[in-house]
Structure 1
């Protein structure tokens, strides 16, 4: 990468929608910025392609509409327009500078100065621009050198950048976990000193950054660094050395062709106590589905009464395939979890209430009682075929009828 001056070829550069969009904005008035440039230089596939332009947002909209490109003012107050060009989605943002910041949001003013726009970004590796036609690179703060060194470094004074947006503390560690071999010492010390600033952020923003961090390639080592530096203390004091050890063990199991999962990794990091985890999930304002899965993951693994493969399927039937894999991995049953990975769906219980009414049960609690008994036996016997289900059903219906007489 040393001495590189042009962006290497990449599939996204040949997208027809990008060519249309650049033509609409005008020669020299659009540059690719941020992640697409960074990832392409690293040889990483990129999905999102963002552009920057000196045109003000209203001019961007007018130019796109004149070219037949759909323009959606998704963040127009901050200069961002979503462009839909040849069924491809791009974000186009006007060059800007910060006027005021309070650690959570910024008031911006538009500019036509590319360096001024770069100066307001967080890290040097995110402030790289490229000409979409020629691939010429624009690097105002030695981001390419930092990228080559796998170094995560703030642009300018780290304390000032953190004061502008406190979330940059977590972003520093997320980018370190994804791209870094080296944490810039000045930036690391600033994050450590200002960790309490995280308390001013919404819990949703904290959760979003944390979950993205946890699946990064070097997440375990970076989480250990964050623990050592006291980063978790203001917002997630439950994280301790035992949690990092569980996370490291879980990550080692993922070599069994199991993809890293943010909720599962968060479950490993937290105390293995459903009540404590429920409180954390509530504090982070996780979705109901995420909260339920997190609590289930740290719940005790049901006692296994047989060695047959069916017990894994029984667990998956009761709590779902995803949660079964979570529990098995967290309890050290990595091979069992790997065998469940390719299970597409759990067996379908073949009996319905109408079937029991047709056999003589009256509508009401007897039907629900009989269904539970039939289902329990069906699961216990390893999901038997139709003939056995019929036999179980007839037997249980008879017993319920006898008990009701």
Structure 2
């Protein structure tokens, strides 16, 4: 890691840790993925990595992302960006050297933190550190605008609230997600399925799922959820915990749905689940 940071000019303030790695470290949670943001242009990132004999893979070069493989670990390195235009599904970006401008395009305050890899200094432009302490998940700026930029942020909001939040959801966020729930229909079903199963696979997302059901968040994409789906979900989670079985998103999705093979087949097809997942559901 030291060799990678040296190659990317961390000593000159050119590169920082960003996002989940900073958030999870502040919460004393295990850090699984380390992402880096840099003022360097993507071609310069590749040049520096190759000069340091670190493998560089242009995984998302059009959006400024290069993956470095160093000492058997993969690290995503993304050039600082600002949004030029968005359509709710994808964004056109331009590169920048402004850390705050890059942080401003992220979804939630707790995800907009960055840190100096050498000193550990945390840079917090939107109050994310205090939100972490209060276990409060909120959008950066106007929630309606952030959802318009990427509709998937509706589901992401509830996933992050289920994982990191405590107490009631942020009112502005909840109202915006409720108002724009139909926007989910514009997303690819694969993105919806991925985010939904991540939410359901959390340790105990039942309170958050209950709020989503009350607010009809699922209705545009999963109108089949059973009338007793919430009670079935709670029972499934309790049974998993009693049996010492790990949380499982697909099992919990099944609990939310009626016990009807035709319904399961329709949902699996709509969400474009794998053949294995379809059969299991």
The alignment's TM-score, normalised by the length of structure 1, stands at 0.68
Q: Deviations over 1:311-345 (max 9, x none)?
A: xxxxxxxxxxxxxxxxxxxxxxxxxxxxxxxxxxx
Shift of 1:200: 0.2
Q: Which residue pairs with 1:216 in the alignment?
A: 202
Q: Which residue pairs with 2:267 in the alignment?
A: 280
How many residue pairs match? The answer is 277
- Bigger CA drift: 247-256 or 100-109? 247-256
Shift of 1:78: 0.4
* RMSD value, Cα: 0.8
Q: Deviations over 1:176-227 (max 9, x none)?
A: 1111114111011000000000000000000000000001134111111001
Q: Which residue pairs with 2:235 in the alignment?
A: 249
Q: 1:50 aligns with which of 25, 29, 35?
A: 35
What does residue range 45-84 of structure 1 map to in structure 2 within 5 Å? 45-84=30-69
What does residue range 5-404 of structure 1 map to in structure 2 within 5 Å? 18-26=1-9, 27=11, 28-181=13-166, 182-255=168-241, 256-294=243-281
Larger RCO: Structure 1 or Structure 2 (Cα < 8 Å, ≥ 6 residues apart)?
2
Contact map agreement 1:238 1:270 (CA 8 A) in 2: yes
The 3-state SS of whatever aligns with 2:82 is: strand
- Structure 2 residues without counterparts, runs of 5 or longer: none
Distance across 1 between alignment mates of 2:114 and 2:204 = 26
Contact map agreement 2:87 2:148 (CA 8 A) in 1: yes
The alignment's TM-score, normalised by the length of structure 2, stands at 0.97
The 3-state SS of whatever aligns with 1:31 is: strand
Instruction: Please identify the structure whose Cα radius of gyration is greater.
Output: 1
Distance across 2 between alignment mates of 1:214 and 1:177 = 9
Shift of 1:239: 1.5
- Structure 1 residues without counterparts, runs of 5 or longer: 1-17, 295-405
Distance across 2 between alignment mates of 1:54 and 1:98 = 16
Contact map agreement 1:51 1:93 (CA 8 A) in 2: yes
Shift of 1:121: 0.2
Shift of 1:263: 0.9
